[in-house]
Amino acid sequence: MPEVVRKYVETNNIANLPPIYESIWETYKEDVVKYAANNSEARIIRHIMSTAHLGLDSRIKFQNFGNSNYRSREVGEAFRNLDDAKVMQLIYPTTDTSPPILPDMKKSPRLQFLDTGLINHELNIQAEMLAMEDLNNAYKGAIIPHLVAQELMSLNTSKSVKPIFWVREKNQSSAEVDLVVQFNTMVIPIEIKSGKEGKLKSLHQFIEGAPHPYAVRMYSGKFNIEKHTTRSGKTYFLMNMPYYLATKLNEYLSYLVTNY
């Protein structure tokens, strides 16, 4: 948000920023109601705008969204209008491990907002985040994945491309990978978390079904590339990247597949 950045540069005081965030978000709330087809839909959109940030840490259901009595069809239509307006987008999962990456619109989506700073403001966690050593701990681990997804979306300057994540939904064997991206003829899994490699169980399940040996982890540590083996014995290369390198992902993937 340019106005927020300008105010911070001028004053060097983060305490001056909340009123600007509040003004911007209230303006969006007032503006998006224009996309409503009728008064009923306008009320649902207002409800979504007031509660959606609380569901950032999980996939959403349209039925009774935000502890409401609204029906799935009504909420879904309101969300699609907000999606068209780019205020908050519905991010659907895929089950593909090779191109093309096709979203499964029958599965529960996640939400991607137009700006992570506005989300932090709505959640009232900005001061808390300043004291954190690892931002992956912010709001149940949901802020950094949202930010990384926003950074990757910014790489598509000529067209609007939504981020997408991967799931495998089977009894007693479900898995979910934070993001997947297509690089050349490969679908690359991206996990966004701290912790040791051994905790990346969902990523292992993706790799075992993928026709290549490459994976990425965005985390708070230093850049390195590690060689690992899944439970089934498949060898793969895990490229660990600091969060701030998200916009350089394509360059680093090129290095990875060229040298490993």
Average pLDDT of the residues of the chain: 89
Residues 80, 182: one domain? no
194 lies in some domain: yes
In terms of domains, do 62 and 118 share one?
yes
**Which residue pairs, CB below 8 angstroms and at least 24 apart, start in 4-10?**
4/117
Q: Which residue pairs, CB below 8 angstroms and at least 24 apart, start in 153-162?
A: 153/112, 154/247, 155/247, 155/249, 155/250, 160/86, 162/89, 162/91, 162/103, 162/112
Query: Do residue 94 and residue 188 come from a single domain?
Result: no
Which pLDDT does position 160 carry in this prediction?
66
Same domain for 220 and 147, yes or no, is no
Do 110 and 190 share a domain, yes or no? no
Residues 131 and 181 in one domain: no
* 186 occurs within a structural domain: yes
Predicted local distance difference test score (pLDDT) of residue 177 = 95
Q: Which of 153, 175, 209 delimits the end of a domain? A: 153
The reply to whether 73 falls in a domain is: yes
Q: Is there a single domain that holds both residue 50 and residue 145?
A: yes
Q: Which of 132, 153, 174 is the last residue of a domain?
A: 153
Domain match, 146 and 176 both: no
Which range has the top average pLDDT, 3-12, 24-33, 230-239? Answer: 230-239
| pLDDT value, residue 159 | 65
Is pLDDT of 161 > 80? no
Question: What tokens appear for 212 in the block?
Answer: 């290549």
3 state DSSP class of 252: helix
Indicate whether 229 belongs to any domain: yes
Asked if residue 217 is part of any domain, the answer here is yes
Shared domain check, 178 and 147: no
pLDDT at 61 over 90: yes
| Cα dihedral 257, 212, 143, 80 sign | positive
Q: Is residue 218 part of a domain?
A: yes
Q: pLDDT at position 191, please?
A: 94
pLDDT, one tens digit per residue, over 31-43 is 888 878 889 999 9
Q: 């207002």: which residue's tokens?
A: 46
Q: Would residue 160 count as lying in a domain?
A: no
Question: Over the stretch 200-233, which tens digit does the pLDDT of each residue have?
Answer: 889 999 999 999 999 999 998 899 999 999 989 9
96 and 213 share one domain: no
What total number of domains does the chain contain?
2
Is position 158 within any domain?
Answer: no
What's the pTM value of the predicted model, to 2 decimals? 0.88
**In terms of C-beta density within 10 A (0-12 exposed, 13-18 middle, 19 or more buried), how is residue 29 classed?**
middle
In sign, the C-alpha dihedral spanning 162, 165, 166, 170 is: negative
Q: Are residues 120 and 203 in the same domain?
A: no
| Whether residue 86 is found in the same domain as residue 29 | yes
pLDDT at 197 over 70: no
Q: In which domain, by residue range, is 233 found?
A: 165-259
Segment 131-149 mean pLDDT:
82
**Final residue before a domain boundary, out of 153, 186, 209:** 153
